[in-house]
Amino acid sequence: MTTTTSPTALTNGVRARGLVRTYGTRRALDGIDLDLGPGVTGLLGRNGAGKTTLLRCLATDLEPTDGGLSVLGLDPERSIERTEIRRRLGYLPQNSSFYPHFTAFGLLDYMAVLKEQGGRRQRHEEIRRALRRVDLYDRRHTRIRRLSGGMRQRLGLAAALLGDPRLLLLDEPTIGLDPEQRIRFRDLVSELAVHSTVLLSTHQIEDVAALCRRVLVLDRGRVIFDGAPTDLIARARGRVWEQASRPPEGVTAWRLADGRYRVLGPEEGDAPDTVERVPLEPSLEDAYLLLTGSVTR
């Protein structure tokens, strides 16, 4: 499918304008402008920044309080279009809980029926494919309560993959995955993102560094960075170093295994004057910490 762009819609992705969502008086989303097209976009932000709220609004699970939203070129405010969005997107919610007595296959079949996906034979073929993609085919007849935490997470991912969606909304998908499965996940998502739009909310910054050409950072319901991970890293150059002693209170630093300290400079030229400072190449995590730290100080 090709991406067609019109002033109001992205048929393969998402367009949000001035998106607001409040819970009582709390503005969980405080005016989000966003255009998402094919590829993987990472969504970072501290606990409570608004990531899940944003994904839930895009998945039509939550109604925005204000602002404009188009998902897959459709208007979620219209009931028929909302149903169509739900049928077409793949959504992995944060902390999804499944019926424990279902088997892995049974759960996916149930979900595929709800999504009205084809006849029985075609549906079952699709389910087997999704189970293979997340390496759970051998466990297809196992009841969910007997699956490990990481396996349940992968089952949730398989559910999101049903129907080969053009839009995938993944809320902390790699939580609990072992390193091998995480690499497998990256490979899978990267392949899917050739044709699909993937929004990946995570605290695993290595996943963003490995997978995303674009990263959004949310802070208190607002986008405080939208760009390439390399541009975020570039902002941190000259602000990361290593030293032998613990820096003064108020400076972000942590003790390393060899007893030295990795230090993130609060501001350019405002770093503590330490003689034995060794400059380091910043990582995406350093850059993210500097960005979110500077916002709240």
Residues making contact with ligand ATP (CB under 6 A)? 23, 26, 28, 45, 47-53, 94
Q: Percent helix, strand, coil in the chain (nearest 5)?
A: 35, 25, 40
Q: Which amino acid is at 52?
A: T
The span from the CA of 132 to the CA of 142, in Å, is: 15
Which of 172, 286 has the CB closer to Mg ion?
Answer: 172
Q: Out of ligand ATP, Mg ion, none, which partner does residue 45 contact, by CB within 5 to 8 A per kind?
A: ligand ATP
- Where do we find the tokens 């995938």? 168
Q: Out of Mg ion, ligand ATP, none, which partner does residue 265 contact, by CB within 5 to 8 A per kind?
A: none
Nearest to 104 by CA among 135, 130, 129, 141: 141
Q: Out of Mg ion, ligand ATP, none, which partner does residue 97 contact, by CB within 5 to 8 A per kind?
A: none
Q: Are 158 and 144 in contact (CB under 8 A)?
A: no
Q: Are 293 and 252 in contact (CB under 8 A)?
A: yes
Which of 26, 120 has the CB closer to ligand ATP?
Answer: 26
Which of 43, 290 has the CB closer to Mg ion?
Answer: 43
Which of 109, 172 has the CB closer to Mg ion?
Answer: 172
The verdict on 52 binding Mg ion (CB under 5 A) reads: yes
The verdict on 142 binding Mg ion (CB under 5 A) reads: no
Q: Are 20 and 27 in contact (CB under 8 A)?
A: yes
The span from the CA of 29 to the CA of 52, in Å, is: 10
Which of 36, 131 has the CB closer to Mg ion?
Answer: 36
- Least distance between Mg ion and beta carbon 94 (Å): 5
| Contact residue for Mg ion among 22, 83, 94, 252 (CB under 5 A) | 94
- Where do we find the tokens 């939208």? 226
Residue ranges in contact with Mg ion by CB under 5 A: 51-52, 94
